[in-house]
Amino acid sequence: MSIVLLATDVDRVHNEVEAALDGDHDLVRVHAGAAVLTAVTEHDPALVVLDLQIGNMGGIAACLDLRLEQRAGRIPDQRVVILLDRAADEWLAGQAEADAWLVKPIDPLALRNTVDEVLAAATA
């Protein structure tokens, strides 16, 4: 089973992601965007799922931080999915170089399919 790192401070989002990915992936949760980089180095996840709104460092900033660390060669390439609050946020996710994004509320089947597609692209 692959590890999926989820960054959210909302229990409902955690529960929905956990239910959608249960059985196929081990879910590791952090409650702050600032904790994402450390969790990536500790757990070496196959995928990082970022909630757009996370305390003082949201999903966009956390994704940009991962991309900068990748380019500097300090961490391996990461696959990132961002959970957006509205369709208007899609431009931001693209600018942050997220591999994929979904607009909440979370559709479990869409999330599972997106995760599978991103992970398949990573191994291709």
Burial class (CB in 10 A: 0-12, 13-18, 19+), 13: buried
- Domains of the chain, by residue range, sit at 2-118
Per-residue pLDDT tens digits for 91-122? 999 999 999 999 999 999 999 999 999 999 97
Percent of the chain with pLDDT over 70: 99
Residue with tokens 């607009």: 103
Q: Is the pTM of this model over 0.75?
A: yes
| Phi, psi for residue 92 in degrees, rounded to 5 | -60, -40
CB atoms within 10 A of CB 102: 19
Per-residue pLDDT tens digits for 28-53? 999 999 999 999 999 999 999 999 99
Which among 14, 8, 1, 11 has a CA at the least distance from the CA of 45?
Answer: 1
CATH code of the domain made up of 2-118: 3.40.50.2300
How confident is the model at residue 47, as a pLDDT? 98
Residue type, 84: L
